[in-house]
Structure 1
């Protein structure tokens, strides 16, 4: 497991693209808290595992990280993503994930996500 905060977030993004929830959870503390704005927080690995249970390679996101900033135990990663939901509907949007790390693991993650139109999402990745 890496000690470089930016490399850790890059590894986490890969776990999402591979729909490997268990690999993501290995990067988290046992009492991790995921604040997904607009929804109730997911607290603990079991809650995240349950919430993401339908994620699989067919509906895993394609993540285009465009900027990452790290200072101390905080890492912010912004970019765009594309995904198909479990009903087959295509989604794309812009995101910003803010990670708070503790001893090289994710203690808290706050995610901001806005659906975008196709052209807007493409412009953000340039």
Structure 2
């Protein structure tokens, strides 16, 4: 994906309502920042779904140059 609009379009397509993100850890080294946390979203039936996530951001000249996102299902929300 390239640009904010592409990200917004993906989010609108993939999520019934905006997910809730909880960042647990943030680690920075050089041009990289890594975020670790949890996402709670809703499936098509409105049932809560939990996932763990990790985002790896690479910065260049103070701007986001690359984002790699990893999402791992962890089960139903309580």
TM-score after normalising by structure 2: 0.76
Q: How many residues align structurally?
A: 77
List alignment gaps of at least 5 residues for structure 1.
1-41
Q: Is the 8 A contact 2:35 2:54 kept in 1?
A: yes
Match of 1:52 in 2: 11
Q: Is the 8 A contact 2:11 2:18 kept in 1?
A: no
| Candidates 36, 60, 63, aligned match of 1:102 | 60
More strand, by proportion: 2
TM-score after normalising by structure 1: 0.50
More helix, by proportion: 1
1:70 deviation in Å?
A: 0.2
| SS at 1:77 equivalent | strand
The answer to whether residue 31 in structure 2 is matched with residue 73 in structure 1 is yes
List alignment gaps of at least 5 residues for structure 2.
none
